[in-house]
Amino acid sequence: MKSLNRRNFLKSGLAGGALATFLGREKPAQAREFSGYTNKGTGVLVDLSRCVGCRSCEAACNREQNLPEPDVPFDDFSIFDTERHGGLKRRTSEGVFTVVNRYNPEELDHPLFRKFQCNHCEEPACLTSCFVNAYTKTPEGAVMYNPKVCVGCRNCMIACPFYVPAYSYSKPLNPIVEKCIMCYPTRLKFGKPPACVEACPTEALTFGSRVNVLKFAKERIRQHPEIFVDHVYGEKEVGGTAWLYISPVDFKKIGFDMNLGHQPIINYVKSFLATVPMVLTIWPALFAGFYRLANRKDGLKKDNNEGAREESQS
């Protein structure tokens, strides 16, 4: 997988930089352009025009992932009126891996529902930001999290552009990050669709290889320009995500962030990462040089105003 190679490249770049310091030798800098993804792995297409807000997916997820009892039953639709701090709609949280929110865009005479969970990015920000490598992207496309090594710094929550990972703050002893894992251990691994996909009565969720569901998305838009806006959310956003969305109204109006850009998040950090080997290799020589220079001056001046402490130390 190309994206994996890329991560390895970054790693080896840093490791190489560190090594170079020890060896005192500089490695030639190499810049490799990132040229798209291989699109292996599975994906899910969320067709917002089909979702009826029945919350079956939430129920199925709760069962499949053994999540704790929800505040209200999954057939209680008053939950759509919940407002969080700042008038925000519900989000994923500890014990809730997926939520369905209701929106009322003015151009439609009926509400629109939006299911939302981890998007299983092709180049996940959570993964690249984790300093103990707790995240992995499986070949099937799921972004997995390993609670055994997580230290709890919550950098992944800072990094995730979709505000997905949640932290179980309430646990004093082993708080962990909780998020959708695309049902990998129980289903995806065996080629089965995620539980929420299977439970969706209207097939608002379509499971398949990411390449295929992306084609479906485009085909549906092509066939029904009167229904859909011409955009597949997740095709390119932050480098592409395994979960894709098509919508009858402007994505902005139903809570999607349209300003994320097409770069994977790690690209924003690259300019800094690139300086690391540079500093590691150039600084020692540079400052050793300064030292020589300064001391030469010292020697010439035969420094006579050395402090008392200097004597005391010698």
Partner 1 sequence: MKAFLKWFFTYITAFFFIFYFFQSASGLESTPPEGLKVDQSQEDAPAPKVHIHDLMPQVVVLDSMANLYEAVEFDHEMHAVEVGCAKCHHHIVEHTDQTCTIHNVVDQTNDPFCARCHKGWFPGSLDKAKCKDCHSPDRFTADYLNKIEKDKDIYHRDNIGLMGAYHNQCMRCHVEEGIGGCQDCHVRTETGDKEFRADAGASGATKKSSEDGH
Partner 2 sequence: MKRYTAKGKIPVASLTNEDGKTRYTLVNKLLLGLSIREYIIQALRNPMNWLLGAIFAIGIPMLIGRFINGLGSVTHASYDYPWGLFLGVGLFVMVPMSASGFMLGTTVELFGRKDFKPIERLALLNGLLGYFFAVVYLLVDLGQPWRLVYPMIVSFGPAAVLFLVAWHVATYLSVQIVELVPSLSEWMGWKKPQVVIKGMILGLTVAGIILSTLHQGALGALFNYAPGKVHPLWYSAPFLWFHFLCSSIFAGLSMVIVVSTICKKTMAWRCDANFLDNLDEITFGLAKGCVMALSTYLIIKIIAIAHDSDWYYLLTGWGAWFLFELLIGTIIPLVLFTFGIKNRMAGLVRFTALIALFGIALNRLNTSLITFNWKLYQEIPHIKEVMITITLYAIFIATYRFILYRLPILYTWQSSEKVKEEA
Q: CB nearer to partner 2: give 227 or 278.
A: 278
Distance of CA 304 to CAs 293, 295, 311, Å? 18, 14, 12
Q: What are phi and psi of 144, to 5 degrees?
A: -100, 160
Q: What are phi and psi of 143, to 5 degrees?
A: -100, 115
CB of 305 to ligand SF4, least distance (A): 58
Q: Binding segment for partner 2 among 26-34, 38-46, 50-58, 257-265 (CB under 8 A)?
A: 257-265
Query: Contact between 101 and partner 1 (CB under 8 A)?
Result: no
Q: Which long-range contacts (CB under 8 A, 24 or more apart) does 26-31 make?
A: 26/281, 26/282, 27/277, 27/281, 29/274, 29/277, 29/278
Q: CB nearer to partner 2: give 29 or 108.
A: 29
Query: Contact between 119 and ligand SF4 (CB under 6 A)?
Result: yes
Query: Contact between 180 and partner 1 (CB under 8 A)?
Result: no
Q: Binding segment for ligand SF4 among 121-129, 212-220, 254-262, 287-295 (CB under 6 A)?
A: 121-129
Which residue blocks in 33-99 are alpha helix, DSSP H? 56-64
CA distance 180 to 120: 9
Q: CB nearer to partner 2: give 15 or 72.
A: 15
CB of 151 to partner 1, least distance (A): 21
How far out from the chain centre does Cα 161 lie? 6
Q: What are phi and psi of 161, to 5 degrees?
A: -70, -15
Of 67-86, binders to partner 1 (CB under 8 A) are 68-75, 79, 82, 84-85
Question: What are the tokens at 139?
Answer: 């070949």
CB of 310 to partner 2, least distance (A): 6
Pairing status of strand 166-167 against strand 177-178: antiparallel
Question: What are the tokens at 301?
Answer: 């001046």
Q: Binding segment for partner 1 among 197-205, 238-246, 269-277, 289-297 (CB under 8 A)?
A: 197-205
CA distance 195 to 65: 9
Q: Binding segment for partner 1 among 134-142, 209-217, 229-237, 268-276 (CB under 8 A)?
A: 209-217
Distance of CA 115 to CAs 24, 75, 148, 206, 291, Å? 53, 15, 29, 13, 61
CB of 261 to ligand SF4, least distance (A): 14
Question: What does the binding site for partner 1 look like in residue numbers (CB under 8 A)?
Answer: 50, 52, 54, 56, 59-60, 62-63, 68-75, 79, 82, 84-85, 90-91, 93-96, 99, 110, 169, 191-193, 197-198, 200-204, 206-209, 212, 215-216, 219-220, 223
